[in-house]
Structure 1
Amino acid sequence: MWIFLLQRSTLLLFLVASVAVARDREPRVRNVYIRDNPKDEAERVYVTGEVVTVLRFQQPCDPARTKMLGWEGRFVPVECAGKRVLVEPLQNLEPKDRFLLLVTLADGKELPFTVTAIGDKEWERPDQQVNVFLAPETQDALRAQLEDTRTRQKLLEEANRRHWEENTEDHALAKLLKNGSVRLTPLKARQRWILKKVGMTVEATFLTGKAKAAVLFRVTNHNKFNPWSLSEARLLTTRPGETAPVLFGEAKPFALQKDWEELAPGASGYLAVVVDKSAFKSREGACDLTVELYRQDGLLDAHVLLDRRLVRE
C-alpha cells in the first residue's frame, strides 16, 4: 500500500503558504440601543486599519465636544459630519488596545464608546456602520429592533440546519479521529507530514478508506503571546498533477471536527477532515482536492493536497 505513495512525490504534498493570502473579513452594519443606565458599559466599536467606521446617530453631534483620547499617531482625526461620526485607524490595532471615544450630541448628551481591535468571535467583526438609538420607542428604533429579531431568527435556523447536517456518518468519523480513536474507524493511516514554521507546527496524517479519505491535523501554537484559532476551512477541486494552492476551484462538501476552540500559547489540538469519494469528481471529471485552513485573521495558514487514489473502492 505504500508503493504508490512513495513513487509519486506530489501525491500527498503538504504545503504551508509562504505568502499571506487574505480572506475578506466582511464588514457589518449593526444597531446598538443605549439606555440611561449608569451601570452599562461603554459600547464597543470594532475597527480595522485604513477602513472608515461610521457611527450614525438620530441627531447631529457637536464637533467641538466630540473627541477620542490618545488617538495621535494611531487614527485619522475623528470627524463629525451631521449625524455621523467617522473613525479611521491608520493601521490595525493590537488586541489589547482600547481607545475612549466621547461623542457629544447637539442637545449636550455625552455618549462614551470603546474603540478596539477586531477579534475572531462573530461579534468582533469590523464595524462598517453602527446605528446608535437612544429612544427605543421611536419608529426607526422599532424598525431596527424588528430587523435584528429577524436576523437572530435566521441565525438560529442556520445553526439548527448545520447541527442536522453534522449528524452524518462523515461527521461521526471526524469526531472519532479528532478524539484519537482511529482504531474505531475503517480508515487507515498511510502517510504523515510535519512542517515547522515561525510560531506554529502543523502535523498532517493522511488516512484512506473504502469510499472515504481523511486528513488529521495536529496544530501546535508556539507563539508566546497570541492564541491561534481556525477562522475557516475550505475544500476545493484541484487538477490531477497540480500542487499549487487553488483559489478558484470548485468548492466541495466535507466533515470537520476539532477538539478546541482556541489554542493558547504552547497548546496543541487536533482537527479532522473527512471527505466522501463523491467529492473527487468535478465538472471536468476526476480530480484531486485541496484542504485550506484559514487562521483567525483571515490569512491562509496551511493547505494540503488529497490525491483521489486515497479512496478505496
Structure 2
Amino acid sequence: MRSSPFAGSVLLFVLLTASTTKASDRCDRPQQRPITLSEHPSNGTHSVYVKGQVITTLRFEQPVDPSKTKLIGWEGRLEPLTVVGNKVILEPIRDLNRDEGLPLVVTLTDGTEVPLLVRPPWPKRDNDWAPIHDQQIDVFKSRDSYASMHASLMDALAQNNTLSEENERYRKEESSEDHALAALLASGAVAQTPFKVVERISGRDGDTEVFAKVYQGKGKVAVSFNVKNLDPEKPWSVQRIRLATMNGGHERTVAVRTTVREITPGGSGVVAIVVDGSAFVDDGVLTSLMLEVYRQDGLRQAVVQLDPSLVAR
C-alpha cells in the first residue's frame, strides 16, 4: 500500500484474488410467479431461472408423468429430477453459466407436454444488482380458470407494488446530493465535488484489475473503483455494494453510480460510492465501517475499511 498523510485512518484492501466470500442470500431475490401456457406458435418457450444449491419447484394443475419428464444436459449441473404428484423439483448443483440453457419437457398424465428452458438467474436491470431466481412457478393451461386468474392478479399487484417502490427510489435519487456527487466522481469530474483524494491503491487477479481511490469531503467519504475486465469472454458487473459497521454489522445506505451497467471483456468502467458522515455514528458513537464490493458471480472483489477520523477531521 502506498503511504499517505492519512495512514492509519484508511485501510484499503483490493483483493488480489476474488474472495470466496459470497454476498448474503438477501442479494439473490427468490421469485414466485405464475405462467400460463399458450398454443399460439408465436409464443416462445417459458424460462425457469435457477440458482446453484437452491431448490426451484414447478407446480402444475394436474399430476406429472415422471417417466416422460426429461431434462436434457442436466448431468454435472443439476441433481436428478424429482417428481412428486403435480410438482417437479429442480436442484442445481452449481450456478449455470451465463449462456447456458437446458431444455426441460414436463409431461402431464393426460399427455400434455410442457416445454421449458432452465436458465441462470433473471437478467439484471439498471440500478438493480440483485439477480432474480425462481423459487416456485405455478403453471396453468388456461387463462380462464379461477386459479390462473387469481394468480395473475396477485402477480400483477406484486409487480405494481415493485414498480411503485422503484419509482419512489428513483425520485429520491434524482434529488439526492450523494447520488449527484457519486455521478460526478464516476464521470471523472472530481473538481466539481468537495472531495480530495487521501488514498490510492491498485490490485489485480487473473481476470480483473482494480485501481481504487478514497476521498474525503465535507462530512462525507467517497470511494471510486476503476475496474478493467481482463476476462476474454465474460462481462464484469456489480452484484451488490454492502456497507456495515465493523462492530455489530449494522448495514448502512450508500449512494452508488456506475459509468456502465456491464464492463465488456477488455473494457473498463468506474464504480463510485458516496457515504454520508451519519453512517459512521452507531448509538451516538463514531465507529469504523466496512465497504464491500461483490461482483456478478457473488464473489467479493474488494474491501475497504473506513475509519471515522475521515469525517471527524
TM-score by length of 2: 0.88
| Alpha-carbon spacing, 1:102–1:303, altered in 2? closer, same or farther (3 Å) | same
- 1:245-284 alignment to 2 at 5 Å? 248-283=248-283
Per-residue deviation, 1:71: 3.2
The equivalent residue for 1:43 is 46
Per-residue deviation, 1:124: 5.8
Q: 2:14, 2:210 within 8 Å by CA — same for their partners in 1?
A: no
SS in 1 for 2:138: strand
Per-residue deviation, 1:134: 1.3
CA distance in 1 between counterparts of 2:75 and 2:216 reads 57
The equivalent residue for 2:160 is 153
Q: 1:209, 1:312 within 8 Å by CA — same for their partners in 2?
A: no
CA distance in 2 between counterparts of 1:152 and 1:259 reads 28
Q: 1:212, 1:312 within 8 Å by CA — same for their partners in 2?
A: no
The equivalent residue for 1:245 is none
Q: State the one-letter code of the partner of 1:175.
A: A
Gaps of 5+ in 2: none
Question: Which stretch has the larger CA shift, 94-103 or 217-226?
Answer: 94-103
Question: Which stretch has the larger CA shift, 123-132 or 248-257?
Answer: 123-132
CA distance in 1 between counterparts of 2:19 and 2:212 reads 20
1:179 and 2:187 equivalent? yes
Per-residue deviation, 1:80: 2.5
SS in 1 for 2:80: strand
SS in 2 for 1:126: strand
1:126 and 2:133 equivalent? yes
Higher RCO (Cα < 8 Å, 6 or more apart): 2
- 1:1-313 alignment to 2 at 5 Å? 4-6=5-7, 8=8, 11-16=10-15, 19-23=19-23, 24=25, 25-118=28-121, 121=124, 125-166=132-173, 167-238=175-246, 248-283=248-283, 285-311=285-311
Number of residues of Structure 1 aligned to a counterpart in Structure 2: 302
CA distance in 2 between counterparts of 1:291 and 1:71 reads 38
CA distance in 2 between counterparts of 1:231 and 1:148 reads 25
Deviations 1:29-83 (A, max 9, x none): 2211111111211111122334332211111122232222333454333233221
CA distance in 2 between counterparts of 1:312 and 1:124 reads 37
| Alpha-carbon spacing, 1:208–1:255, altered in 2? closer, same or farther (3 Å) | same
Q: 1:46, 1:124 within 8 Å by CA — same for their partners in 2?
A: no
RMSD: 2.2
Q: 1:210, 1:312 within 8 Å by CA — same for their partners in 2?
A: no
Q: Give every structure 1 segment of 4 or more consecutive aligned residues whose post-TM-superposition deviation is greater than 4 Å.
A: none
Q: State the one-letter code of the partner of 1:89.
A: P
Q: State the one-letter code of the partner of 1:277.
A: G
TM-score by length of 1: 0.88
Q: 2:236, 2:295 within 8 Å by CA — same for their partners in 1?
A: yes
Q: 1:46, 1:117 within 8 Å by CA — same for their partners in 2?
A: yes
Q: State the one-letter code of the partner of 2:151.
A: A
Q: 2:18, 2:299 within 8 Å by CA — same for their partners in 1?
A: no
CA distance in 2 between counterparts of 1:29 and 1:219 reads 35
CA distance in 2 between counterparts of 1:109 and 1:19 reads 46
Per-residue deviation, 1:267: 1.1
| Alpha-carbon spacing, 1:150–1:138, altered in 2? closer, same or farther (3 Å) | same
Q: State the one-letter code of the partner of 2:198.
A: R
Q: State the one-letter code of the partner of 1:256.
A: V
CA distance in 2 between counterparts of 1:252 and 1:73 reads 39
Q: 2:29, 2:131 within 8 Å by CA — same for their partners in 1?
A: no
Q: State the one-letter code of the partner of 1:12.
A: L
Q: 2:14, 2:202 within 8 Å by CA — same for their partners in 1?
A: no
SS in 2 for 1:183: helix
